[in-house]
Amino acid sequence: LRGHSDLIMWADYSPDSKLIGSSSWDKTVRIWNAANGELIHMLTGATNQSWNAAFSPDSKMIAIGAGVRKVRLWSVESGELIHTFEGYKNGVRRRTFSADGSSLLVFASRPDHHVSVIAVNSLQERFRLQDHADAIMWAEFSPNNRVIGTSCWDKTVRIWNAVNGKLIHMLTGATNQSWNAAFSPDSSMIAAGAGDQKVRLWNVESGELIHTFEGYKNWVRSLSFSPDGQTLAAGAGDASLRIFSVLSGGDSLQQWQMGAAEGSMIGHFIEVCNVMHTAQGLLIFKTTDGRVYTFDAGTGRKGQFEHREDVVGSIGSGSCITSHDGNWIFIANFDGVVRVWKI
């Protein structure tokens, strides 16, 4: 998918798998035909870099955040702007829809320390989650839509009622900044990585700590449960990835230590990020120098997507996403091109 003129920070399939969206520092978001790669809409209006975006579950809308302290909601079919949400004090860090598409969750970078939950039908804010004392790094609806999880640099992870916004649990224990988190597929557990080089796993209903996973030498910022919820994969800033048993805890079942940085990233630290599983259970992760790896737990087979010869400039990548059927992977390279690979 060619056309962007700057770094691509996000790319993803629409839930109905008919479209591909991409967001770039060239201040545009583009919608492409997933069957033939043709450009359908170029969504403009941002006066600063466009970062991540999100499709609604019914694939009819796309929400876009940028460094302009606004969130724009667009019609995917017509390419028309539906609404602009304003009032954020800094660039919008993330926006995501609830599983039923009724609510949109939005939060910004510092100094905003709250999460806005917006009703999609009325385009009005339902409530705010605002007890955190520092920058919020992650926020997400649970898969069953009953709770919202947040993770913050104030060293806490919090679980909120998704209906009324009331705080249910404040999960503590981290001695350094808490980064990304993840719900288990059945919504019964939440895992979070922190700057203290540990991953903690809690029971969502009781708020009790189940396991603490260790062995890292740097922060842990990317996590993913397997589709059956039996294992947890977590990548860290020490260029390592580990897989843990959710049931037994203890030492990692598998671990990888990545090699030295390649290309334009030589001399920089390597972080394992974008850790994810396909619906079939294939584990995919990438490193900050743009290398992408796969691991099939069933067969033990490992794979790597090599850098294409046509990649120019930086070989890093801003996004690595799989299609919903698990057959394709999208790598948004820093040369402004989204490359689609067959898994």
- Does CATH place domain 1-91 in 3.40.50.300? no
pLDDT digits (tens, 9 = 90+) for 25-45: 888 899 999 889 999 999 987
Mean pLDDT of 3-9: 80
Tell me what pLDDT residue 51 has.
66
- Asked if the model's pLDDT at residue 322 lies above 80, the reply is yes
Q: Which residue has the higher pLDDT, 265 or 332?
A: 332
Q: How far apart are CA 116 and CA 107, in angstroms?
A: 6
- Percent of the chain scoring above 70 in pLDDT: 86
Sign of CA dihedral 256, 261, 263, 265: positive
The arithmetic mean of pLDDT across residues 130-137, rounded, is 89
| Per-residue pLDDT tens over the stretch 162-210 | 999 999 999 999 999 999 999 999 999 999 999 999 999 999 999 999 9
CA distance 175 to 160: 22
Average pLDDT of the residues of the chain: 86
Neighbouring residues of 316: CB distance < 8 A, sequence distance ≥ 6: 264, 265, 288, 289, 290, 333, 334
CA distance 151 to 253: 26
Look at residue 290 and tell me whether its pLDDT is greater than 60: yes
Question: What global pTM score does this model have?
Answer: 0.88
pLDDT of residue 313: 46
Nearest to 44 by CA among 23, 59, 61, 58: 23
Asked if 176 and 170 count as a contact pair (C-beta separation under 8 A), the reply is no
Q: Supply the pLDDT for residue 70.
A: 77
Q: For residues 137 and 113, what is the distance between their CA atoms, to the nearest angstrom?
A: 10
Q: Is the pLDDT assigned to residue 333 strictly greater than 90?
A: no
Distances (CA, A) of 44 to 27, 37, 41, 108, 224: 7, 19, 9, 20, 33
Q: How confident is the model at residue 271 (pLDDT cuts 50, 70, 90)?
A: confident
Tell me what pLDDT residue 74 has: 92
Domain definitions of the chain by residue range: 1-91
Q: How confident is the model at residue 268 (pLDDT cuts 50, 70, 90)?
A: low
Percent of the chain surpassing pLDDT 90: 49
Q: What pLDDT is stored for residue 259 in this prediction?
A: 66
Q: Average pLDDT in the 33-58 region?
A: 85
Residue 264 banded pLDDT, cuts 50, 70, 90: very low
In angstroms, the CA 115 to CA 110 distance is 12
Give the CA count within 13 Å in the CB-facing half-sphere of 188: 7
CA separation for the pair 99, 89 (Å, rounded): 27
Q: What share of the chain is helix, strand, coil (3-state, %, to 5)?
A: 0, 50, 50
What confidence score (pLDDT) does residue 291 get?
A: 81
CA atoms of 284 and 37, how far apart (whole Å): 23
For the segment 77-99, the average pLDDT, to the nearest whole number, is 80
Per-residue confidence at 267, pLDDT binned at 50, 70, 90? very low
